[in-house]
Structure 1
Amino acid sequence: MTQTAHKIRQALIIEDLPDSQALLLTVCQQTFPGVTCQLFDNLHDGRLWLTENRCDLLLIDLGLPDGDGTDLIAEVKQSAPDCTIVVATIFDDDQHLFAALQAGAMGYLLKDQSTAQLVRQLQGIEDGQPPLSASIARRLLNGFQVRAQAQTQPAQHSLSQREQEVLGLIARGFSSNEISGFLEISRHTVGDHIKNIYRKLNISSRAEATREALRLGLG
């Protein structure tokens, strides 16, 4: 997790949801005035851009349409060790956290925070401080106990508590905007949760989501 202090002049943002992409762009521009930001919504285009360009900061989601962001993290860590790599995701579990850190991520931020919180957490980069959401920092201090428990959970519990809440509301006919208001979270965070629910349950529609919610006793 140790990193060297350096100026951020060029940032690469890889995030597939438009609202989340706009959030991360705003955060980067507020944190590093004058920074040039390149945005992509998939790993392939990000990799292609990196063949001819360099960046000081890679801000990357983990669940992307064409693969796991952790794979690119490992590649960039190998090819550009001076690049600061920070995960920006909704995944707050040990499995995703430790896989990303082991691959070479130097920071781990949760996107369901406010813009101001994300800016504060990124500001430490130029002083050599790893950007971590508060809950992630606590998780690191608590060790690996939860990780061991998560690996033994049955498949029906692979959804996080928040994902189960979102799935239950989908089954009751709530729209994404209504879920956002009901749970007091942003629309882009709702979108992230729905994307991950669909992937984990291998479904692609609200009808299938409703069926799965009923099967899991969440409807």
Structure 2
Amino acid sequence: MAGHSKWANIQHRKGRQDEKRQRIWTRVVREIMVAARTGGGDPTSNPRLRLAIDKAKAANMPADTIKRNVDKATGNLEGVTYEEIRYEGYGIAGAAIIVDTMTDNRVRTVADVRHVFSKYGGNMGTEGSVAFQFKHCGQLIFAPGTSEDQVMEVALEAGADDVIADDEGAIEVLTEPGTFEAVKEALEAAGLKPEVAEVTMRAENTIELTGDDAERMQKLLDMIEDLDDVQNVYHNANVDLA
């Protein structure tokens, strides 16, 4: 996790999430429903559902809302069926972008995503055009000032693949998707609370964007994230807005 602006990027994303709490609820509900439909409604045997419920609780979603949407997905209540679709494309200066969506209307969604790419300086790619530049993994990020030695000791003992500190003092823990939960639980049990904890698509290499390119790239990312059907956006740009 190198680069001057990684921590700033995280703070920017968290700030936008705080501003758009209702949209976060919508996305979490969709994740709960897809996770429950594909892996069953019991979170003890469905890690993806467990993680989605954790996200819902972090967003202060009431327990009855969580249960109702699990029930919808598993057939106990009537509900909308969503499908997952991934789009790939290029942003400013050729930066790689992956857009994960959940939708009940794929024609609408692809049109919306393509329109934003085109309008804000990017372009859509074909399936597989940029995905090879990312690794599917568990990622936990701790704020600058957290003890690197303690994080490393606990994380590696619990099965993490790597622990990386960046120039600003933030600490990144990387895991295989299957060991993410065990590592997260071990770190939290040791009193180490991550700012970010997710199974993600992590860029293998990053490109630095500054000045006008950085502003244009951030605008493109923000507009993609604002689309109703978008769940997650991954990219390989370090956007320095300073």
TM range (shorter): under 0.3
Higher relative contact order (CA 8 A, sep 6+): 2
- Greater fraction of residues in strand: 2
TM-score by length of 2: 0.23
